[in-house]
Amino acid sequence: MAKWYAAEVGVKVVDSALQLHGGYGYIDEYDISRFYRDAKIVEIYEGVKEVGKTCYRAPPGQKDRSLFEEE
């Protein structure tokens, strides 16, 4: 659960920073482009995005108190 949360927050923070930099955020001369690539790799490589969401759901027959569904 902590791995999933850390990966998601990392991507959100770096995405906001990338938006702040605009087009310059994609140029390799700026560190933000590396930060964005690294954050996405952590999210994908760790396999926490979809697999983690599936593993943390309630067992069949119990009410699903999923933290992952947006309200």
CB atoms within 10 A of CB 55: 10
- Taking the C-alpha atoms of residue 35 and residue 37, their distance in angstroms, rounded to an integer, is 6
From the candidates 8, 46, 69, 71, which is the catalytic residue? 46
CB atoms within 10 A of CB 11: 17
Has 46 been annotated as catalytic? Answer: yes
Residue positions annotated with a catalytic role: 46
